[in-house]
Amino acid sequence: MSKISEYSELVQTQHINTAGTLFGGNMLAWLDLAGVKAANDFLKETDAWGVVTRAMDKVEFKEPVFLGDWVNCESKVIRTGSSSLEIEIKAFAESKDHGQRLACTANITFVAVVRNDEGKLVKFNHNLNCE
């Protein structure tokens, strides 16, 4: 079983949309970074340079997020392939005014990569299993 990784952001004025809530594109970027955190934690003993995002699935915006909320993401590896890893991400919004709620969820597939002789990032078989 893989461990849970954590990543947080504070919602500031530059993150707000015309409806006065968190712009979904910012949430997507934060989910992606939260996924990268879990992927990098998982791969840290390997020779992988890092990961690139291959697919974003099952993105759900469940609750609006407001100015001044903290967005606390919990992410973990739920499936491993040869070079890929699927990460489940849960983003909890939290503030004194609005309490804590599960605001957004997603599953993101990353591919472990290394640089080849030409400096290009190519897939890397990590040989790890999350079971």
Ligand X SMILES: CC(C)(COP(=O)(O)OP(=O)(O)OC[C@H]1O[C@@H](n2cnc3c(N)ncnc32)[C@H](O)[C@@H]1OP(=O)(O)O)[C@@H](O)C(=O)NCCC(=O)NCCS
- Binding to ligand X by residue 37, rule CB under 6 A? no
| CB neighbour list of residue 88: distance below 8 Å, 6 or more residues apart | 75, 76, 78, 105, 106, 107
Rg over alpha carbons for the chain, rounded to the nearest Å, is: 16
- Quick one: 45 or 57, whose CB is closer to ligand X? 57
Q: Which stretch binds ligand X (CB under 6 A): 16-24, 37-45, 91-99, 106-114?
A: 106-114
- Binding to ligand X by residue 10, rule CB under 6 A? no
CA distances to 48, 53, 82, 89, 111 from 122, rounded to whole Å, are 10, 13, 13, 25, 9
Q: Which stretch binds ligand X (CB under 6 A): 15-23, 69-77, 91-99, 121-129?
A: 121-129
Residues that bind ligand X (CB under 6 A): 52-55, 81-84, 109, 111, 113, 121-123
